[in-house]
Amino acid sequence: MKRFTTSLIAMFALMVLVSCTIVIDVPTPTPFVSTALPESTPTVVREQVLRIGMVNEPPDLLPYHSNPTDERLTSALTELIFPSPMLAVDFKLQSTGVLIRLPDFANGDVMTTTVTVFRDALGQISETPTETTDNVTQVSVTFHWNPNLRWADGTPVTAADSVFAYELAQQIDLGQAANSRLAMTERYEQIDEYTTRAVLRPDVTDPAYITSFWTPLPRHLLADLDAQQIGQSEFVRRPLGYGPYTIKSFEGGTLELVRNPFYWGEAAPFDTIVIAFRSEPGQLVDLVRGGGLDLAFIEQPMPALLDQLLARADQQELQLSTSPNTIWEHLDFNLDVPLLQDIRVRRAIAHAINRPALVEQLLGGRSNVLESWILPGQLGEPPLDQITRYAYNPDEARRLLDEAGLFDTDGDSWREYEGLPIVLSLVTTANSPLREAVASQIANDLAQVGLNIEVVPLPPGELYSTEGPLYQRTFQLALFGWIAGAHPRGWELWSCSGVPGEANNWTGNNFAGWCFFEANEAINTATTALDPNEQIAAYLRQQQLFTQEVPVLPLFQRIDALIARPGLSGWRLNPTAPFTWNIQEWRVTGE
C-alpha cells in the first residue's frame, strides 16, 4: 500500500464597495468618407441585456476562492471572467477550451517516474538524508494553454501568467483549494510560451493530479505590485480576465459585465449582463415575476418559498428548475461515546429517522435520500444492492434497541442506559432554518422509539472551530454538511489518520472517530491509486464497510433552484457546474 504523505484537508463549509473604471484601449479604425454615395439611415441594433439576480454579493471576483462555499456562491460570476481550464459537469471534468486538451496518460501529458527518497524514523519522506531510502512514484502533469487566449486589454495569456499565479499563492493566501494544490506540488514550471508542467511531490499519487494547474492571473498588471497589497487592491473586485465578459462596474449592489472584445471563443448572445444582489430570495422571485430580472439563482429555497415557486411554475408565471447540489447533510455518531459504540444503536437510529419525509417535506421531493457518502453521479457510486441500506422502519429500530438491552423500565417513554434515561445531545449550526427543521424531525422520530434528543444549536464559528466540539470530539451526535467535489476523495473523512487529535494538529475531518482497518486500507487505495478502475473497486469495498458500520448516517443532498421569466430559454441547472456554465446557449425572446 502506498504511503499518502500529504494530507489535503477537505474543509467544511456552511459558513467598502470600491468603484473604479477599467479603460480598454481598442484601436479605432480610420473613418472612410465617400461623397459619391447617397446618405443612408443607420440601422439601430438593440442591445441584448441579460438581467440576473443573486442573494450573495461576492467580496471579490478572483478565480481563486477562500473555501468551497465561496466557490459555490461566486463561481457562476468568475466563470464569465476567468473560465476554468476544466469544468465539472455532472461530476465529470470536461474541457472549456482554455487548455487545448485535457491531460491524461494516453496523450502523454501525465507521466510517472520512480525516484529515490529518504525516510525518517516515522517512515515519512525526509529532505534530510537518512540511512533509510525508498523508491516511490512521482507524477508530472503537462498543461497546454490555448494560444488564442487574450486578456480583456488585448494582451496574450501565456504560460507565464499561470506560473505567476503559482508564485503568488506561495506568498499570499489564495484559499483552501490553492493551499491544497501547493501542498501536493513540488514545483510548477513553464516549459514554453504556452505550456506548463506540475511535478507533484514524491509518493503523492492523489487523484487530484489532473487539477494541479494554476488558473492564469495577469502578470503584466500585477508583477510589479507587492504581493501582500494585491489582496487589498481594487483588482480583486475589478479583475481583468480572459473570459467572454469583463467588468464595467461593480457598486451599489449591482455588477455590470460587458463583452470582452478580445474573447477567443464562441460569443454569448448578450452584450451586457447585469447582476443584482438582493438579501432576500423572495425579492428575487418578485423581480422575476415583474419582469425586472430574466433569471435568479436561489440556493436551497426554504419549504414555504419552494412551495410558492412550484405553484408559480404550475401557473406559468415563471419557469422553475431544481437540482440536487453538492452539499450533503449527514448525522455523525461520536464513536467515543460508549452507548454509540454499539452498532445496534447506530443502526436503530438510522432506521428510526424518516429520511424520505425530510426530502418530501423540506425539499419538495426534489432531492435524493442518500444511501452512502458518495453522491449519485460521482466516481465510485455504489450499486445499491451491494451496500447496506437503512429504510425507514421504526419497528426494526425498536427491535434493535431491545436487542441492545435498552428498555423503558419506568414507563416514562424514555429508554434507559446503565439505569439512567437516555438523553443524547445533537449539535448543529444555529440560525439555519433547514438544519433547525431537520434536527427537529430527527428528535421527533427518535422520540417515537424511546430516545430523547436535546438539540444544541451553535454558531458556525464555534461548531467548526478547532477548539469546538467537532474537532475536539466532545459531541454525541452532530448534524452538518459536506461539499462534495468532482472526485469523491474521502481520505480526510474516513481514514484513521483523519481522526482529529493532537498528533495531526486537530486537522482531520473524521469526526466520528471511525478507524476500521480494512476500510482504512480501502480508502487509502481509493485516494492514491492512479487507475480509475482500482479506485472504483476500493471505493465499493470502503462503502460496503461504511454502510455496515454506519459511523455516519448520510441524509440527503440539498437543492438549488433557478427561476426564469417565460422568455428565457437554453439555461440548464447542473449539480456540479455553476449555473452560467452554458450561457452561450441562452436566448431571450418576447421583449
The 10s digit of each residue's pLDDT in 355-397 is: 999 999 999 999 999 999 999 999 999 999 999 999 999 999 9
Confidence tier at 19 by pLDDT (50, 70, 90): very low
DSSP 345-394: HHHHHHHHS-HHHHHHHHHTT-S-B-SSSSPTTSTTPPPGGGS------H
* Spatial contact of 309 and 301, defined as CB atoms under 8 Å apart: yes
Higher per-residue confidence, 15 vs 71: 71
How far apart (Å, rounded) are the C-alpha atoms in residues 70 and 64? 9
pLDDT band at 307 (very low <50, low <70, confident <90, very high): very high
Best CA proximity match to 520, nearest among 553, 492, 548: 492
Q: How many CA atoms lie within 13 A of 84 on its CB side?
A: 24
Which cell numbers hold the place of 287?
423581480
Rounded Cα gap, residues 475 and 424, in angstroms: 9
Mean pLDDT of the chain: 90
Cα separation, 105 vs 96, whole angstroms: 20
Of 115-129, 146-160, 405-419, the least confident: 115-129
Q: Are 312 and 287 in contact (CB under 8 A)?
A: no
pTM: 0.87
Q: What is the tens place of the pLDDT at every residue in 466-503?
A: 999 999 999 999 999 999 999 999 999 999 999 999 88
Please report the pLDDT score of residue 46 as a whole number.
Answer: 65
User: Mind giving me the DSSP string for 392-457?
Assistant: --HHHHHHHHHHTT---SSSSS--EETTEE-EEEEEEETT-HHHHHHHHHHHHHHHTTT-EEEEEE
Band (258; pLDDT cuts 50, 70, 90)? very high
CB 83 within 8 A of CB 98: yes
Confidence of residue 588 (pLDDT cuts 50, 70, 90): confident
Q: Cα(176)–Cα(180) distance, rounded to whole angstroms?
A: 6
Predicted confidence at residue 6, as pLDDT, reads 36
Instruction: Let me know if 68 is exposed, middle or buried by CB neighbors in 10 A (0-12, 13-18, 19+).
Output: buried
